[in-house]
Chain A
Amino acid sequence: MRKEYETVIGLEVHVELATKTKIFCACSTKFGGAPNTHTCPVCTGMPGSLPVLNKQVVEYALAVGLAVNCQVNQHCKFDRKNYFYPDNPQNYQISQLYLPICHDGFVEIETEGGTRRIGIHEIHMEEDAGKLIHDEWGDASLVDFNRSGVPLIEIVSEPDMRSAQEVIAYLEKLRMTIQYLGASDCRLQEGSMRADVNLSVREAGAREMGTRTEMKNLNSFKAIARAIEGERERQIEILEAGGKVIQETRRWDDNKGVSRAMRSKEDAQDYRYFPDPDLTPVEIGDDWLERIRQARPEMREEKIIRYQKEFGLPPYDADILTGWKRLADMFEETTALCGKPKEVSNWLMVEGMRLLKEQGMDGDGLSFSPKNLAGLIGLVEKNVINRTVAKAVFEEIFRSDVDPEAYVEEHGLKVVNDTDALAKAIREIIAANPQSVQDFKNGKEKAAGFIVGQTMRAMKGKADPGLVNQLVRKLLEEAK
C-alpha cells in the first residue's frame, strides 16, 4: 500500500514593476516596441556604460515589502550574478544576493483549514533580460534588448505551502496586494508576474525535508496547479519505486501535462556573485521609509470593510468587487458619479462578471469609462430605458465604451409609455389569442403573463413593463 505523503512547496515569484523607465537607465519599459528601440548604451551593455538606479524601483520594492510585513535592510546593495547568455548583454545580471532590500515577512491566506501564515524569506530587486528570437529559416538567433533592464522584484517564500490550493491563494494574495499598491499589474499571461515552484514530498509526519525540484515555465494559475499535482505524483512514484528524487530544475509543458529536466544541481552554474562596484549601496533613511509607509494606498481588507460601512454593501459584494484593483476602482469611480453603490455593484458583479467570464478575462479586463456606466444607471433610474434594454446597452458599453445616452437615442431604444399605443397593441394580441383570454377567465394567472410577454416582444422590449402589466390586466378584465 502507498504511504501517506506531504507536499512541501516554496515559491519564487518575479514581479515586473510598473515604472515608466528601466531600473538602471532612462529607457522606456513600454511593452511591444519594435525590437531594440527601447535601448541605450546602458541596457545593451556597451563598453564604458554605467548603471544608475531608478529610485522608483526602490520605492515599489519597499511598498511591497512593507505590505507583506517584511523587515527592511536600510543599507542594501546590488550584486552581480555572472553568467553567459546572449539575452544578457553584460553577461552578468545586476541583482541582490548578500543584502536584499526586504526579508523575513509573511502573508496570511484563507484555506479550508482556516487562516495560514506563509513566510516570506526575502524580496530583492533585479533587472530583466532581453528576449531571444530564434530564426527558424536562417541559421541565427536574434536578440531584442527592449526588456533588458526592466525592473523586477523577486519574492522568495519560505517552504510553507502544502497544496496547490494554498499556492494559488498565496499568489492571489500577492497579486492583489501588489496591484493595490500600484507596483505592478501582475499579469501572469503577459509575464509581468512569474512563479517558479520549488517542491518536495516527504512521508507524512517526517521532519526532514525531501529533495526538492524547481519547476519553471508556469504561465497561469491553472498551469501552476497542474504542475504541482504532476510533480507531486512524479516524486511519490519515484520514492514508492525505491528511487531517489534528483535535485534539478524542470520545465513544465502545460500542453502535454508533463515536465522535463532542464539541468541538475551538478551542472548548476557558479554565478560568482560579488557586490556591483558601479553602484553605491542604497541607503534607506527612516524618513524615506516613513514616507513610503504613509503613501500606502487603501488595501483590499480596508476596502471590504469600508464598502460595507460607507456604501451599505453586503459582505459578498464587497468581497467580489475588491478582488481586482481595476474592478474596485471602477466601482468607486462610478459610484462617485451616480451615487448608487448597490446599482453599480449589481451591474459590475452580475453583468460585468458574466461578460468577463465569457471573454475569458478577469477583473483587470474592464476597460470602459465609469462615466458611461453611471450614465446607464441614470437612464434606468429615470425610466428612459427599461432593464432589458439596459442590459443590451451595458454590453455595448463593456465592448466599445459607448456613450449610453447617444446610443439609446441613435438606436431608438427609449421606453414606450404611450398608453394609447400600448393599449392598441395589447388589444390586437388579445384578439389574436382567444385561448389565453379563455384561460384567464378560468382563473389561470399565467395567461396574463403570456400576453405581457407577447406585448413586450411586439414592442421590441422597449415598453415599460409596469405599464404593460397594468394595461394587460385591465384589458383582460374588460374582455372577460
Chain B
Amino acid sequence: MGILELTAVELGKWIKSGRVTVEEAVQACLDQIKKAEPRVNAFVTIDEEGALCRAREVQRKIDRGELTGPLAGVPVAVKDNLCTRGLLTTCGSKMLYNFIPPYTAEAVLNLERAGAVVLGKTNMDEFAMGSTTETSAYGETRNPWNLEHVPGGSSGGSCAAVAVNECFYALGSDTGGSIRQPSSFCGVTGLKPTYGTVSRYGLVAYGSSLDQVGPVAKDVADCAAVLEAIASHDPKDSTSIKRADTRFTEALVDDVRGLRIGIPRDYFGEGLNPSVRDAILKAVEVLRQKGAVVEEFDLSLVEYAIPAYYVIASAEASSNLSRFDGVKYGYRASAYEGLHSMYKKSRSEGFGPEVKRRIMLGSFVLSSGYYDAYYLKALKTKALIKAAFDRAFASFDVIVAPASPDTAPRLGQSLCDPIQMYLGDIYTISVNLAGLPGLTVPCGTDSLGLPIGMQLIGDCFQEKKLIRAGYAFEQSRCYQGPALARELERLPKSEKQRGLSGAEEKASRAEAFGSAFKERADWMKGGSK
C-alpha cells in the first residue's frame, strides 16, 4: 500500500516515527495532483514551491520536538474561500481572479500551528453558491468516482481532492450542506460543526449566520482530529463560541449501546432515491445491532426549510458580496465611464449567473416593503425549525438523514433547473438554519457505483455523539476510495510531468473554461493586465 492510501492520522504517525518524511508525503501528493488534475480539476491554485518549502520547515520542527500533534506534517488542501496569506484566494470567481489576501483565515492558522502543510486551494462553486462545483469560474470539478458526474458542492474541490488522494484531508465550508452533500457524492467523510465552533475570520462570507468551516477527510477519526485542531474561540469573530469540550478525538469509541437514534419519517418519504434510502437504513441497522436504540418520528416543518434558507442566505449574501465593486481589489472592468458604470460593469462581468441570481433575490427580500413578508418571516421560520429540532433532541441523541435525495448527478444536469437544484438541499439546510452539527459518512454505492452518504445530525455542541456513532459504523467497513485514485497512483511518475504552478497547464485549458481562466493565467504570468 502506498502512503496515499493512509488516512491523515495514520500518515501523522508514520511521519512521527520517521517512516516517511514530510517532504516525501508532500511530494507524493504533488505527484498525484499532477496526474489527477487534468481529469478532476479539484484545485484552483497549487502551491508546489510553498508546500515543499513548508514541508522542510515542518520536518525540522518535528525533528526538534516542537511539533508533536497527530496532524504534524500532514498535507492539506484548503477550500478557495478561506484566505491564505500570500496565496491566491478566488472563491471560484472571476471577481477575485487576482486577490492575494494579506492575512490567513483563523481555521487555516490553527492547522498551521498543528503542523499542516497547505498544498493549494480547492475549487468550489462561485462564492460557495451551488451544489455541483460547476459554477466555478475556473471550470467544473469532476467526480473521481465517475468523471461524467459532478462532485457535489460547493466544497466539491475539497471532497474530490480527498477522494482521489491528492491530499490527506481538506477544509471545506458549509452554509447549506456544502461539506456534507459533496462528501456524500465523493464517498468521503465531512463534518459541519455547531455554528460558532470554528472561527469564520478569513472565511469569505456567503451567508454569515449559517457559514461554518469544517473538515473533509477519509474517515471519522481524521475528521475528529482535524476538528480538534481547528475549533477555537476567536476574539476576532463575534459569533465564535468558547467551548470547553473540544477534545473530539476522545469520542472515537466503538460503542453505541443505548445511543438513541431518530429516523425522521419526513426525510425518508417521497423524492428520495430508493437506493439511497436502502443504503442508509442498512447502515442504521448496523448501528442498531451494535446496541443503538432506533425509532422513527415526525420532525415537521421540513417543507419550510428551503424557502427560509434561500431568503436568509441570499439576503446576507447580497450584502456580503457588495464589497466586490472593483474599487479596492479583484476584478475591475477595463472600460467604463464614471463610478456607476465601473460598479455595474465590474460586477456584471465579474460575477457568474448563479451569484447574480442570489444577489438579486437577496436584494429583493430586503427591500423596503418586502422585508417583513420575506426576511422577517424567514427568520421566524428559522426559529421554529430550531424549536422542532429541540423537541426531537429531547428524545434522541442523533438524527439520521440522507445528505441528498440522490447520488451525484451528471455534469450539466443541475444548472439548467436551479429550483430543482435548490430542492436537492432539503436534508442539509435545516441543520444550518438551526446551527447544528452534521456529519456525513459513506455507507454504500448505487447501481452506477456512485457513493451514498449517511448524514448524522446532532444537537448543538454534540459533535461527540456524531463522532461516536460515525466511528462505530465505520468499524464495520473499510474505507474504499474511487478506483481512479489507485489507477493514477500506479501511473508512472513521468507520464504527466508538467509545470504545476498552474499557469501553463491551466492556460492551455483557458478556452474551455472561459475568460476568467485566461485573466487569471495572464495575470499569474505577470502578463498584459
Q: Which residues from chain A sit less than 8 Å from chain B, CB to CB?
A: 41, 44-53, 80, 82, 84, 86, 89-92, 143, 270, 272-274, 277-280
Q: Is B248 an interface residue (CB 8 A)?
A: no
Among B202, B322, B324, B375, point to the contact of A48 (Cβ < 8 A).
Answer: B202
Assess the A86–B367 pair: CB atoms within 8 A: no
Assess the A279–B238 pair: CB atoms within 8 A: yes
Among B324, B339, B366, point to the contact of A86 (Cβ < 8 A).
Answer: B339
Provided the pairs A48-B83, A50-B236, A272-B366 are in contact, do residues A278 and B208 lie with their beta carbons within 8 angstroms? yes
Assess the A48–B201 pair: CB atoms within 8 A: yes
Assess the A50–B201 pair: CB atoms within 8 A: yes
Main secondary structure of the interface of A (DSSP, over half): loop
Q: Is B237 an interface residue (CB 8 A)?
A: yes
Provided the pairs A270-B368, A272-B367, A278-B238 are in contact, do residues A48 and B204 lie with their beta carbons within 8 angstroms? yes
Assess the A52–B96 pair: CB atoms within 8 A: no
Please name all residues of chain B whose beta carbon is closer than 8 Å to the beta carbon of A90 when the two chains form the complex. Answer: 322-323
Assess the A82–B201 pair: CB atoms within 8 A: no
Among B81, B102, B318, B363, point to the contact of A46 (Cβ < 8 A).
Answer: B102
Assess the B83–A47 pair: CB atoms within 8 A: yes
Assess the A272–B89 pair: CB atoms within 8 A: no
Assess the A277–B316 pair: CB atoms within 8 A: yes
Assess the B203–A91 pair: CB atoms within 8 A: no
Question: A47 to chain B: closest CB distance in Å?
Answer: 4
Q: Is B40 an interface residue (CB 8 A)?
A: no
Among B89, B236, B319, B327, point to the contact of A47 (Cβ < 8 A).
Answer: B89
The 10 A-B pairs at the shortest CB distance, nearest first, are namely: A91-B322, A277-B209, A272-B366, A277-B208, A47-B204, A48-B202, A48-B83, A45-B323, A90-B323, A48-B204
Among A41, A52, A272, point to the contact of B319 (Cβ < 8 A).
Answer: A272
Closest to A24 in B: B238
Provided the pairs A47-B96, A47-B101 are in contact, do residues A274 and B236 lie with their beta carbons within 8 angstroms? no
Closest to A141 in B: B339
* Distance A143 CA – B326 CA, assembled complex (angstroms): 13
Q: Is B450 an interface residue (CB 8 A)?
A: no
Would you give 9 A-B contacts (Cβ < 8 Å), ordered by A?
A45-B323, A46-B102, A47-B96, A48-B101, A48-B204, A82-B366, A91-B325, A278-B205, A278-B238
Assess the B325–A280 pair: CB atoms within 8 A: no
Assess the A50–B105 pair: CB atoms within 8 A: no
Question: B254 to chain A: closest CB distance in Å?
Answer: 39
Question: B335 to chain A: closest CB distance in Å?
Answer: 13
Question: A95 to chain B: closest CB distance in Å?
Answer: 13
Question: A40 to chain B: closest CB distance in Å?
Answer: 9
Q: Is B99 an interface residue (CB 8 A)?
A: yes
Known: A47-B91, A48-B105. 15 other contacts (CB 8 A): A41-B101, A44-B328, A46-B101, A46-B103, A47-B83, A47-B89, A47-B101, A47-B205, A48-B203, A86-B327, A89-B327, A272-B371, A273-B371, A277-B209, A277-B239
Q: Is B343 an interface residue (CB 8 A)?
A: yes
Main secondary structure of the interface of B (DSSP, over half): loop
Provided the pairs A50-B236, A51-B238 are in contact, do residues A91 and B366 lie with their beta carbons within 8 angstroms? no
Q: Is B235 an interface residue (CB 8 A)?
A: yes
Please name all residues of chain A whose beta carbon is closer than 8 Å to the beta carbon of B322 when the two chains form the complex. Answer: 82, 84, 90-92
Assess the A272–B363 pair: CB atoms within 8 A: yes
Assess the A91–B323 pair: CB atoms within 8 A: yes
Closest to A143 in B: B327
Q: Is B200 an interface residue (CB 8 A)?
A: yes
Provided the pairs A45-B323, A47-B96, A82-B322 are in contact, do residues A274 and B371 lie with their beta carbons within 8 angstroms? yes
Provided the pairs A47-B323, A82-B366, A86-B339 are in contact, do residues A274 and B375 lie with their beta carbons within 8 angstroms? yes
Q: Is B159 an interface residue (CB 8 A)?
A: no
Q: Is B315 an interface residue (CB 8 A)?
A: yes
Assess the B103–A41 pair: CB atoms within 8 A: yes
Size of B's binding interface in residues, CB under 8 A: 44
Assess the B315–A274 pair: CB atoms within 8 A: yes
Assess the A49–B201 pair: CB atoms within 8 A: yes
Please name all residues of chain B whose beta carbon is closer than 8 Å to the beta carbon of A51 when the two chains form the complex. Answer: 238
Question: A89 to chain B: closest CB distance in Å?
Answer: 6
Assess the A82–B319 pair: CB atoms within 8 A: yes
Assess the A52–B328 pair: CB atoms within 8 A: no
Among B81, B83, B319, B367, point to the contact of A92 (Cβ < 8 A).
Answer: B319
Please name all residues of chain A whose beta carbon is closer than 8 Å to the beta carbon of B102 when the two chains form the complex. Answer: 41, 46
Please name all residues of chain A whose beta carbon is closer than 8 Å to the beta carbon of B82 when the two chains form the complex. Answer: 48
Question: A161 to chain B: closest CB distance in Å?
Answer: 29
Question: B107 to chain A: closest CB distance in Å?
Answer: 11
* Distance A66 CA – B209 CA, assembled complex (angstroms): 33
* Distance A89 CA – B238 CA, assembled complex (angstroms): 20
Among A50, A89, A277, A280, point to the contact of B323 (Cβ < 8 A).
Answer: A89
Please name all residues of chain B whose beta carbon is closer than 8 Å to the beta carbon of A89 when the two chains form the complex. Answer: 323, 327-328
Question: A77 to chain B: closest CB distance in Å?
Answer: 12
* Distance A49 CA – B202 CA, assembled complex (angstroms): 6
Please name all residues of chain B whose beta carbon is closer than 8 Å to the beta carbon of A278 when the two chains form the complex. Answer: 205, 208, 238-239
Question: B105 to chain A: closest CB distance in Å?
Answer: 6
* Distance A86 CA – B327 CA, assembled complex (angstroms): 7
Closest to B91 in A: A47
Please name all residues of chain B whose beta carbon is closer than 8 Å to the beta carbon of A143 when the two chains form the complex. Answer: 327-328
Closest to A84 in B: B343
Of the listed residues A50, A91, A278, the one surrounded by the most CB atoms of chain B closer than 10 A to its CB is: A50
Provided the pairs A41-B102, A84-B343, A277-B316 are in contact, do residues A48 and B238 lie with their beta carbons within 8 angstroms? no
Of the listed residues A48, A49, A52, A80, the one surrounded by the most CB atoms of chain B closer than 10 A to its CB is: A48
* Distance A53 CA – B237 CA, assembled complex (angstroms): 10
Closest to B362 in A: A272
Please name all residues of chain A whose beta carbon is closer than 8 Å to the beta carbon of B202 when the two chains form the complex. Answer: 48-49
Of the listed residues B82, B239, B319, the one surrounded by the most CB atoms of chain A closer than 10 A to its CB is: B319
Question: B336 to chain A: closest CB distance in Å?
Answer: 12
Assess the B238–A80 pair: CB atoms within 8 A: no
Assess the B368–A53 pair: CB atoms within 8 A: no
Among A44, A47, A48, A280, point to the contact of B239 (Cβ < 8 A).
Answer: A280
Closest to A272 in B: B366
Assess the A48–B205 pair: CB atoms within 8 A: yes
* Distance A368 CA – B325 CA, assembled complex (angstroms): 49
Closest to A51 in B: B238
Closest to B369 in A: A270
Among A48, A274, A279, point to the contact of B366 (Cβ < 8 A).
Answer: A274
Please name all residues of chain A whose beta carbon is closer than 8 Å to the beta carbon of B316 when the two chains form the complex. Answer: 274, 277
Question: B207 to chain A: closest CB distance in Å?
Answer: 8
Please name all residues of chain A whose beta carbon is closer than 8 Å to the beta carbon of B205 when the two chains form the complex. Answer: 47-48, 278
Please name all residues of chain B whose beta carbon is closer than 8 Å to the beta carbon of A274 when the two chains form the complex. Answer: 315-316, 319, 366, 371, 375
* Distance A45 CA – B329 CA, assembled complex (angstroms): 10
Assess the A84–B367 pair: CB atoms within 8 A: no
Closest to A90 in B: B323
Please name all residues of chain A whose beta carbon is closer than 8 Å to the beta carbon of B235 when the two chains form the complex. Answer: 52
Assess the B375–A45 pair: CB atoms within 8 A: no
Please name all residues of chain A whose beta carbon is closer than 8 Å to the beta carbon of B101 when the two chains form the complex. Answer: 41, 46-48
Question: A107 to chain B: closest CB distance in Å?
Answer: 32
Provided the pairs A80-B319, A86-B339 are in contact, do residues A47 and B99 lie with their beta carbons within 8 angstroms? yes
* Distance A327 CA – B294 CA, assembled complex (angstroms): 77
Residue interface bits B35-60, CB-to-A below 8 A is 1, else 0: 00000000000000000000000000
Please name all residues of chain B whose beta carbon is closer than 8 Å to the beta carbon of A279 when the two chains form the complex. Answer: 238
Question: A227 to chain B: closest CB distance in Å?
Answer: 28
Please name all residues of chain A whose beta carbon is closer than 8 Å to the beta carbon of B238 when the two chains form the complex. Answer: 50-53, 278-280
Assess the A52–B325 pair: CB atoms within 8 A: no
Among A50, A82, A92, A270, point to the contact of B237 (Cβ < 8 A).
Answer: A50
* Distance A82 CA – B322 CA, assembled complex (angstroms): 8
Please name all residues of chain A whose beta carbon is closer than 8 Å to the beta carbon of B328 when the two chains form the complex. Answer: 44-45, 89, 143
* Distance A91 CA – B238 CA, assembled complex (angstroms): 20
Please name all residues of chain B whose beta carbon is closer than 8 Å to the beta carbon of A53 when the two chains form the complex. Answer: 238
Please name all residues of chain A whose beta carbon is closer than 8 Å to the beta carbon of B200 when the two chains form the complex. Answer: 48, 50
Residue interface bits B461-498, CB-to-A below 8 A is 1, else 0: 00000000000000000000000000000000000000
Please name all residues of chain A whose beta carbon is closer than 8 Å to the beta carbon of B323 when the two chains form the complex. Answer: 45, 47, 89-91
